[in-house]
Amino acid sequence: MLTHVRRARIRLLQILDASLFGGSLCLAYWLRDAFPLWSLPGLEPFPGYLTLAPLVMILGPALLASQDFYQRPRFAPRLEVFGALLRGCAFTVFGVILCLFFLRLQFARSVVVMTGGLAGILIYARAEIMRRIDATRLAQEQFRRRVLWVGAPEAVAQLRAGLVPYESELLQTAADIDPRGGMADDFVALLHQHSVNLVVVDVTGLAATDILPVLSACEREGVETVVRAGIFHTPVFRPEIDNLGGEPVVFYRAQTAPAGHLLVKRVFDFLGAALLLVLSLPGLAVIIAVIKFTSSGPVFFRQRRCGLNGRPFEMIKFRSMVCDAETLKADLAARNEMKGPVFKVRDDPRVTRAGGFLRRHGLDELPQLWNVLRGEMSLVGPRPLPVDEVHRFDDDAHRRRLSVLPGMTCLWQVHGRNDIVDFTEWVRLDLEYIDHWSLWLDFKILLATIPAVLFGRGGR
C-alpha cells in the first residue's frame, strides 16, 4: 500500500544507517588506538582507514536489507529485529574481511570486528528510538492515514482482509460508505467530519455513475485517492500505479511531488524551524517584553486553524490585538476589504501600537515555528485560515489548498500579502504553488520572504 511512502522511509533509514556504520568505523579505530589490546600491534595512521568507510557504508545497509531488516513492520517483535540486525552486522564484518583478503589490504581485523559490533549497538538504539517515536500519539496522527472506504461492503471487507501488516499499521479507518443509490452528500460530509486524507475506492460491483461523483469530490478537495480496479483519467489528478493488498491500483494524487522530495522538505522544515528558534531567542525575549509592557493580556494568541485536509490545530502567534478582538470582529464586518470568506481590515482599530509593527514585518508569526516543529505546519505552504472561514467557503474547489501542509510563508506572502483583496486570487496563487511545487520553488519563496518581511511590503 502506497509503496512510494515506504520506499522513501526505507531509503532514509538506509542513509542514516550508512552514516552510523561510518561513524562506528571511526569510533572503533579511536577505541582500538586509545586502548590497545594486549599483544596486538599498533595501528596505521587514521587516514588510511578512511578508505574503508565507503565499503562499510555501502555493504552494511545492503546486507541489512538482505535480512529484511527494513521490510519488517514498524512494531515487529524486538527479537526478530535484533536477529536480523545481528545477522546483517555479522555478514558485514565477514564481507569486509573477505574483501580485504582478496584485495590483499592490511587493516587491523579487530577494528573491522569492533565496527560491526558498534554499528549493531547504534543501529539498534536508532531503531528503538524510532519505535518509541512511532508509538507516540503525535506520530500516529502524523503518519497514519485516515481512510474512507468506498464500495460494496463485501468487496471492501475482502480488500481489507488482504492488507499486509505494514498497510494495516498505516491505515486508520474513518468510515465506510456504499455509494450505490446516490450518497454524494454523505460522502462529502464524511470527508469534512473526519478530516480524511485518503479515500480507497473498490469498483467491484459498482457502476461508473456511482464512482465518478466520489472521484470528483476527492479531486475538488485535494484528497488522495486509491482506486482498486478500473481506469479513470482527470485533468488535475495525477494517476500512479501502486499496490494495495497485493493488487495493482491507480493512485490519484493532487500533486506530482516525489515522496523523497516531500521527505526532504519535512526534514528541512524541522531543522530550519529548530535553528530559527534558537537564533531568534534574544529577539523573542524582546518581543515578549514589549507586548507585556505595552498592553494588558497574554503574550500569545492561540486560534484554531484548518491544517492538512482541514484537520483543525491550534496555531500560535504573538498577540498583536486587544484581548477582546474576536468579540469586536462582528462590529467591523461592514469594513471587510476581502472579497470572499476571509476577513481583512485596513487600519484595524483592534491592533495594538506594538502589534502594528509586529504584523507589518511578520514578527507576530514567529511562534508558528513551534507549529512547524510539531508537524502541523511547514515553513512554506498556503497560509492556514481560521476554521470558521474555511466553513464559509462557497466553492469546494477552494478546499484543495488544504491538500498540503499550511505554511508560514507562501506565494501570497511574497506577492503583496494584504494588498491582494480578492480571495479567488489568493486561492489561485495557492493552487499554483501546489501544482508546481518543488524544493527549488520553496527555496525561492523563502528568499523572497526576507525582503518582504524586512520592508513590510503588504503587511498591516
- Residue indicated by cell numbers 509592557: 293
Structural domains of the chain ordered from first start: 3-135 (no CATH), 139-253 (3.40.50.720), 259-454 (no CATH)
- Confidence tier at 64 by pLDDT (50, 70, 90): very high
pLDDT digits (tens, 9 = 90+) for 273-318: 999 999 999 999 999 999 988 888 899 999 999 999 999 999 999 9
Nearest-CA neighbor of 366 among 289, 256, 237, 276?
276
**Contact indicator for 338, 421 with CB cutoff of 8 Å:** yes
DSSP state of 417: G
Task: Examine the pLDDT at 65 and tell me if it is beyond 80.
Answer: yes
What is the pTM (predicted TM-score) of this model?
0.71
What are 386's three cell numbers? 481560521
Please name the residues in contact with 134: beta carbons below 8 A apart, sequence gap of 6 or more: 74, 75, 140, 143
Dist. CA 203–CA 211, nearest whole Å: 7
pLDDT of amino acid 416: 62
pLDDT digits (tens, 9 = 90+) for 66-94: 898 998 888 889 999 999 999 999 999 99
What are 388's three cell numbers? 470558521
Q: 182-209: b or e for each residue (b if 16 or more CB lie within 10 Å)?
A: ebeeebbebbeebbbbbbbbbbeebeee
Please name the residues in contact with 355: beta carbons below 8 A apart, sequence gap of 6 or more: 291, 295, 319, 320, 321, 364
pLDDT digits (tens, 9 = 90+) for 441-458: 999 999 988 888 887 665
Average of per-residue pLDDT values in the chain? 86
**Three-class DSSP labels, 163-174:** CCHHHHHHEEEE
Rg of the chain, C-alpha, whole Å: 27
Please name the residues in contact with 416: beta carbons below 8 A apart, sequence gap of 6 or more: 457, 458
Q: How far is CA 404 from the centre of its chain?
A: 9
